[in-house]
Amino acid sequence: MSPALSPLDGRYASSLDPLRPFFSEEALLRARVFIEVSYFIMLSKEPKIRELPPLSGKQQKALQQIVDGFGPKDAQAIKKIEEKTKHDVKALEYYLKEKIGAVPGLKKYIEFVHFALTSEDTTNLAYGILIHQALENVLLPSLQDLVSALTAMAKQWRDVSLLALTHGQPATPTTVSKELMVFVSRLERQLQLLRAFRMQGKFGGAVGTFSAHRAAYPGIDWPAFGKKFVKALGLEPLEYTTQINPHDDLAELSHLFIRIGNVLLNLSRDLWLYISRGIFRQKMIAGEVGSSTMPHKVNPIDCENAEGNIGIANALFAHFAEKLPISRLQRDLSDSTVQRNLGVAFGHHLLAVQSLKRGLGKLSLDITKIQRELDTHPEVHAEAIQTVLRKHGIEGAYEKLKEFTRGERVTKEQLRSFIEKLKLPEKEKSRLLTIVR
């Protein structure tokens, strides 16, 4: 039994292992170490900083090893320092000074660790690269797998007609394939935007003016330096900021995931309804139980789990989008604790995607049920018939079909008899009779 407070680290822990390298506390610390080491190396390459000479190949390799070898023990060492500093980034700075100071020839240069930076310079860049990595390695592939599964089902059932329901009532027939492709096309649109999305990067010191940088080295073009550094991390440089990244990037990303979540929510509920109607049957898994008291039950739990997790994820994403872009004057710290929940939102999102993918894999079509529904409601062909009548200029075409079909139970025989009496070319009659076969 896990003592975890959140089910993400308890019941669902193994399902979310792919996200831990990007949204755990250890992941954030590792990313901060990478940012600080990268900055230290870039400072050493600036010719006008004579107090920090260029690093040798051996020294650069040793610094890279600090990043590559970072693990749980290092994270614990930083947390131990934080118990005293009560400041996470300052604890990181002290940790790195010790590590870099142990590299031969670098001890006298350790004051260039976190040089002229504010905590947010390190932290926002760390979040930026972590989010890019999570998107590339986990979140985008998981969504693409879901889209591929839906596309494969649409191809498999391309020619299967289906009774449509509008307002919950029988409507003009559609196809299983087209209904699935509606979700494919909606998701593809959002995935295109997600693939193009880039996090921004703030780098400018205490209030975004490079004031400390300029005080130490007024001859360096620090905005250009910062822009180059941020771009090297794969982020879009912000030119004007306060102390913090204004988080418009996270708001944009959150809105993107809300839209994706809404499409998935729509899909979950539609699949649930199709299963309820008997259109889809679910494969039975040996040993599984649908109900603690009703042995016959095979419940659509994957759709339901997806729906629940989307609700939690979207609620968090909505809060991120509304809260994070607002900060008092040059900064307040209320964004910090909120950002620590990014992994929670993405965790619930990923659970929903996994549930849907699993649920899709259990589905098969009940062709007999589908045909029975269509045979029971031949009146849904009224739209096609009245449109053909209009084509031939027959006055009151809509009204004729309305009087004959609205609110009535019409049989195939009655509908075919109605078509036979229409004053239409025989070719058109034959075609309509073929539709109502």
Q: Residue 235 in contact with residue 199, Cβ under 8 Å?
A: yes
For residues 95 and 302, give the distance between their C-alpha atoms in angstroms, rounded to a whole number.
Answer: 45
Q: What letter would DSSP give residue 136?
A: I
Catalytic residue among 14, 167, 292, 296: 167
- In this structure, how many other beta carbons lie within 10 angstroms of the beta carbon of residue 48? 10
| φ and ψ at residue 70, rounded to 5 degrees | -65, 130
The answer to whether 21 touches 346, Cβ cutoff 8 Å, is: no
Beta-bridge partners for 170: 165
Task: Give, as one character, the DSSP assignment of residue 284.
Answer: P
Q: Is residue 291 flagged as an active site residue?
A: yes
Annotated active-site residue 336? The verdict is no
Taking the C-alpha atoms of residue 39 and residue 107, their distance in angstroms, rounded to an integer, is 17
Report the interhelical angle of 382-391 vs 397-405 (nearest 10°).
160
DSSP code string of 364-392? EE-HHHHHHHHHH-GGGGHHHHHHHHHHT
* Start-to-end C-alpha separation, the chain: 60
- 363-365 and 280-282 strand pairing: antiparallel
Options 291, 334, 417, 430, the catalytic residue:
291
User: What is the spatial distance between Cα 238 and Cα 222, in angstroms, rounded to a whole number?
Assistant: 13
Q: For residue 114, which of 133, 134, 87 has the smallest C-alpha distance?
A: 87
Residues taking part in catalysis: 167, 291
